[in-house]
Amino acid sequence: MENNFGPLLTAMVTPLNDKLEVNYDQAAKLATYLLENGSDGIVVAGTTGESPTLTFEEKCELFKTVVAAVKGRGAVIAGTGSYSTKESVKLTIEAEKIGVDGIMLVTPYYNKPPQQSLYLHFKEIASATSLPVMLYNVPGRTGTNMSAETTLRLAEIDNIVAVKEASGSIEQITDICRKAPPGFALYSGADPMTLPILSVGGVGVVSVASQIAGKEIKKMINAYFNGDVQLACRIHQQLFPLFKGIFISSNPIPIKEALNLKGFNVGNPRLPLSPLNAEQKEKLVRVLEELDEVKL
C-alpha cells in the first residue's frame, strides 16, 4: 500500500459554538473551504482539532460530517490515536465504517512507552484496519520521541504508509527518508520545517497555517518540486512570520483566533486551553495584517 494523500494536508481545528459544543455545520463549511484553497486532504480530530477534549461520539460525528462535506474531493484522515491502544483500536474501527480515507495515530502521550512498546502499539492498531495509516511523532507534546529505527520498522507493515514528523531533527528525518521502503512518505509536522524537510526527501506537510494561507503553502510546495527553489524559498520566508505567529501560545489557541479574525467563527478552545490574552491577540492581528500586504 502506498501513500496517496497528496502533499498538503490541513490539520483542521474543531469549530465550537458559544456553549463550547461542536459546531458541525461550521466544520462542514471549513472543510469545504480548505479543499477549495490548496488542501489535498484534511486531518479531522487530530491534536489541532482538540482531540483530547472530544468524546468518542463527537469524533465519530465529526468524521461523518467531514466525509459528507468533502464528497470524495480530497482525503479525510481521522485522528484516532491516543495513549490507550484499546480505545485507539475501537475508534479506528468505527472511523473505517464511517468511510474515512485514512487514519492518523499520534505517539501515545503521558505514559512514555519505550520503543518496543511503541512498535507494538502501532502494529496492533494498524492490524485492526485496512485503511492506510499515518504515524505522528511529536515529542514536544507527547514526551516521547519515536526513533528513526522504530519508524522504519513500522514502515515495513503494509498499511502504515506515512509519518508526520515533528521531532525537529533533520538528522532523524533524513535517516527515515534515506532508508524508508518505496511508497512510504514523510510529512513535515511543523510549518516552519516544511521547506527544509522537502529538501531532504519529505513529500509535503500536515499544516496548521494552511487554514489561513493554503494556496500560498501549496504554491511553495509546487515551486520546490517544479525546480524553482528560489521561489519556494521566497514564499517560505514571506510566510515565516505567520508560521511563528500561530504558535505564540499553545496550538490550537492562536489558529482558532486567527480563523475567528478572518470571519470563520470557529469559537474558543475547550479547557484546559483558553483564549489568547489581549497582548497576544494584538500581536496576531499584526501578523495577519502584514500577511495581507505581502504579494506571494
83 is catalytic: no
pLDDT attached to residue 296: 64
Sign of the alpha-carbon torsion through 59, 158, 40, 141: positive
Long-range contacts of 85-90 (CB under 8 A, 24+ apart): 85/121, 85/124, 85/125, 87/56, 88/121, 88/125, 89/124, 89/125, 89/128, 90/56
Question: How large is the average pLDDT for residues 160-183?
Answer: 97
**Could you read off the pLDDT of 65-121 as tens digits, one per residue?**
999 999 999 999 999 999 999 999 999 999 999 999 999 999 999 999 999 999 999
Domains and CATH numbers, the chain: 8-225 (3.20.20.70)
Instruction: Look up the pTM and report it.
Output: 0.95
Helix (H) or strand (E) holding 163: strand 160-165
Which of 2-11, 96-105, 201-210, 243-252 has the lowest average pLDDT? 2-11
Give SS3 for 254: helix
* pLDDT band at 3; cut points 50, 70, 90: confident
136 is catalytic: yes
**Could you read off the pLDDT of 130-165 as tens digits, one per residue?**
999 999 999 999 999 999 999 999 999 999 999 999
Question: How large is the average pLDDT for residues 39-49?
Answer: 97
Choose, from 24, 59, 119, 164, the residue flagged as catalytic.
164
Question: How large is the average pLDDT for residues 217-229?
Answer: 98
Q: Which residues pair with 206 in a beta bridge?
A: 9
Question: How large is the average pLDDT for residues 220-236?
Answer: 97
Question: How large is the average pLDDT for residues 237-259?
Answer: 97
- Residues 108, 144 contacting (CB under 8 angstroms): yes
**Could you read off the pLDDT of 254-277 as tens digits, one per residue?**
999 999 999 999 999 999 999 999
Instruction: Give the largest CA-CA distance in the chain.
Output: 50
pLDDT attached to residue 1: 75
Which residues have CB under 8 Å from 91's CB, separation 6+?
Answer: 56, 59, 60, 78, 80, 82
* pLDDT band at 293; cut points 50, 70, 90: confident
What ranges make up the beta strands (E) of 236-280?
A: none
Question: How large is the average pLDDT for residues 23-45?
Answer: 97
pLDDT attached to residue 4: 85
Choose, from 24, 136, 187, 224, the residue flagged as catalytic.
136
Q: In the chain, what percentage of residues exceed pLDDT 70?
A: 99
The span from the CA of 5 to the CA of 58, in Å, is: 24
Q: Is the pLDDT of residue 295 over 80?
A: no
C-alpha cell at 102: 485514512
* Residue whose cell numbers read 489561513: 212
- Residues 131, 100 contacting (CB under 8 angstroms): yes
Which residues have CB under 8 Å from 64's CB, separation 6+?
Answer: 98
The span from the CA of 189 to the CA of 8, in Å, is: 11
The span from the CA of 136 to the CA of 71, in Å, is: 26
